[in-house]
A = this chain, B = another copy of it.
Amino acid sequence: MIILDGKGLFKKIKVDLSLEVKKLIKLNKKAPHLSAILVGDNPASQTYINAKVNACNEVGFKSSVFQYPDDVSENTLLKKIEAINKSEDIDGLIVQLPLPKNINSNLITHSISPNKDVDGFHPINIGRMVLGLNCFLPATPFGVITLLDEYKIETAGKNCLVIGRSHIVGTPISILLSRNTKMGNATVTLAHSRTSNLNDLTQNADIIILALGVPAFLKSSMVKKDVIIVDVGIHRVPSDETKSGYKLIGDVDFDDVANKASCMTPVPGGVGPMTIASLLRNTLYSAKKVIY
A residues sitting closer than 8 Å to B (CB atoms) are 106, 122-128, 130-133, 156-159, 165, 167, 171-172, 174-175, 178-180, 185-192, 194-197, 200-201, 204
Contacts and interface: CB of A to CB of B under 8 A. Distances in A.
Number of copies: 2
Given A157-B196, A187-B195, A189-B189, A106 B123 contact: no
A124 B123 CA distance: 5
A48 to B, nearest CB: 22
Contacts of A191: 187
A180 B191 CA distance: 12
A171 B130 contact: yes
Nearest to A129: B127
Q: Which of A157, A179, A187, A195 has the most CB of B within 10 A?
A: A187
A190 B187 contact: yes
Q: Which of A123, A185, A188 has the most CB of B within 10 A?
A: A123
A197 B192 contact: no
Contacts of A165: 178-180
B197 A187 contact: yes
Contacts of A187: 189-192, 194-197, 201
